Chains A and B, each alone.
Chain A
Amino acid sequence: MSIETERAARRNRMSVLARCETSRLQGLWSKLGLDPTYKLLRGPEYGLVMLRGRTGGTGEPFNIGEATVTRASVKLDDGSVGHAMALGRDDMKARLCAIVDALCQDTRTAVLIDAEMIAPIKSELDGADERRRQETAATRVDFFTMVRGED
């Protein structure tokens, strides 16, 4: 796998994990039966990131305000390192996401995790997005042209 595809896969995994509910994450994780020993390199800890917009949507960056985040970094016994950062305050989630990220440094484990954890969560999240899109679509205004004048 090239560095780019590996990076894209990792980004995608982190994106899915960050958006997942902790209880759902733990449910899928416990089914995997993986329980690696690890050492915490940093965190889990709460902090802030400053969110930014652009003037007029496309111009220069400006600060909108901050958001709470939790981050964690772990190292497994085999030396692989995992990182996680997610919006909100949730130690358990950040720690678990960092462990999952570390495990996925091993290609075979990554295949397992992608299939058993990431894929189902992704499809649930996509389903929720699609439902929201359709709900919004139902509020789209359909304009009718009125027929005027003599025929």
Chain B
Amino acid sequence: MQTETSTLEGGFALPVFDAQVIFRAIMDAMARPAVVTGVVPRAAPPAPLHPLAGAVACTLIDADTPVWLDQTLSDREALKAWLAFHTNARFTDAPAGAAFALVADPAAMPPLDQFAQGTQEYPDRSATLVLQIGSFEGGTPFTFHGPGIKGTASMAPLGLPGDFAGQWNENTRRFPRGVDLILIAGEAIACLPRSARLVKGKE
């Protein structure tokens, strides 16, 4: 298989510095859960992967982190070739075997508990899910509290699974096990670490 040229372009122009900028953005977003921040993507992956999701992939994924793609993404050979070339990613078909999951259609994704949850001894052996959503506004409003949140933080992401509130409550109940989410819409990012709990009565 000779990979097409197009899949070999669109990676970080300055791999070290670009990855540092995106890493900083992800770290800040994880530290301040449910706060939406604008980030310039610096990567241009093939559709339907969002540029910012591509940049997050280039920053976090390497040869040692198995990656799971949802159906919408895994159908695109060019996209897989792009990820392999720019991140050294190795792919897995099993959600439970993945360190990272890239999801273009969160509404249709497997339940959160199907992904690696980590263990009591090693809670870090869990999956980080990168979800491409429609928008951070116009969806079901959620309010969160927990470490890194002064009082409460709210957002209304559009395109999450129908029973997200129930799934997320289960996820936070498994603490210290559980998955962490990176939500991406356009050029904006917000994170939900497993420590961010839904405020009761406002689900």
- Within 8 Å by CB, do A and B touch in the complex? yes
CB pair B15 A81 closer than 8 Å:
no
Using Cβ atoms and an 8 Å threshold, which residues of chain A touch B3? 81
Using Cβ atoms and an 8 Å threshold, which residues of chain B touch A42? 8, 11, 85-86
Q: How far is the CB of A139 from chain B (nearest CB, A)?
A: 41
CB pair B11 A75 closer than 8 Å:
no
Using Cβ atoms and an 8 Å threshold, which residues of chain A touch B9? 41, 75
CB pair B86 A79 closer than 8 Å:
no
Q: How far is the CB of B63 from chain A (nearest CB, A)?
A: 9
Q: How far is the CB of B20 from chain A (nearest CB, A)?
A: 15
Question: Could you tell me the distance between the alpha carbons of A45 and B88 in the complex, rounded to whole angstroms?
Answer: 13
Question: Could you tell me the distance between the alpha carbons of A117 and B23 in the complex, rounded to whole angstroms?
Answer: 43
Question: Could you tell me the distance between the alpha carbons of A79 and B11 in the complex, rounded to whole angstroms?
Answer: 17
Interface size on A, residues (CB 8 A): 7
Instruction: Please classify how large the interface on chain B is, using the bins under 10, 10 to 19, 20 to 34, 35 or more.
Output: under 10
Q: Does A73 lie at the interface of the complex (its beta carbon under 8 Å from any beta carbon of B)? A: yes
Using Cβ atoms and an 8 Å threshold, which residues of chain B touch A75? 5, 8-9
Using Cβ atoms and an 8 Å threshold, which residues of chain A touch B5? 75, 79, 81
Within 8 A of A (CB), among B40-88: 85-86
Q: How far is the CB of B12 from chain A (nearest CB, A)?
A: 10
Within 8 A of B (CB), among A32-62: 41-42, 45
Using Cβ atoms and an 8 Å threshold, which residues of chain A touch B86? 42
Question: Could you tell me the distance between the alpha carbons of A45 and B62 in the complex, rounded to whole angstroms?
Answer: 15
Question: Could you tell me the distance between the alpha carbons of A81 and B81 in the complex, rounded to whole angstroms?
Answer: 15
Q: How far is the CB of A91 from chain B (nearest CB, A)?
A: 14
Q: Which 3 A-B pairs have the closest CB atoms?
A: A41-B8, A81-B5, A79-B5
Q: Which residues of B contact A (CB under 8 A)?
A: 3, 5, 8-9, 11, 15, 85-86
The contact sample of 17 A-B pairs, CB cut-off 8 A, is: A41-B8, A41-B9, A41-B11, A42-B8, A42-B11, A42-B85, A42-B86, A45-B15, A73-B8, A73-B85, A75-B5, A75-B8, A75-B9, A79-B5, A81-B3, A81-B5, A81-B8
Q: Which residues of A contact B (CB under 8 A)?
A: 41-42, 45, 73, 75, 79, 81
